[in-house]
Amino acid sequence: MLSFLKTPNDIENEIKTKFKQKRKYLKLSQKELSIKSGISLGSIKRFEQTGKISFSSLLQLAVVLECLDDFSNICNQKEKFKSIEDILK
C-alpha cells in the first residue's frame, strides 16, 4: 500500500477524534450523549478510546451530533474527466 494513502485505522482514528470534538463543542458529556442517542455509555467510551462502534450506533450518534448528513456523501460517484474540454463543458 502506498504510504500517502490513509488506512482504515487512520480513518477510524480521525472519525473518533472528530466525534469527540463535536460532542465537546456541543457541550455534551458522554453520559448526556448516551441518554440522547440511546447508545450505552460503555459503547461511547469505547468508541472515543478505540474507534470501535457498530455502524448503526455511529449513525445514531451522528443524529445527536448534527452530522448525519455527512454520511450521505459516502461513495458518491465522482465525475471523471478525460480532458480540459470535458471540464469546461
Q: Is 32 inside a domain boundary?
A: yes
* pLDDT average, residue stretch 41-62: 97
Percent of the chain residues topping a pLDDT of 70: 90
Domain range spanning residue 17?
8-68
Q: Is 12 inside a domain boundary?
A: yes
Contact 45, 33 (CB under 8 A): no
Cβ neighbours of residue 61 closer than 8 Å, sequence gap 6 or more: 19, 33, 37, 39, 44, 47, 53
Mean pLDDT, the chain, as a whole number? Answer: 90
Q: What is the CATH number of the domain that holds 47?
A: 1.10.260.40
Question: Is a pLDDT exceeding 90 seen at residue 31?
Answer: yes
Q: Is 44 inside a domain boundary?
A: yes
| 79-89 pLDDT tens trace | 776 777 766 66
pTM comes to 0.80
| Total domains, the chain | 1
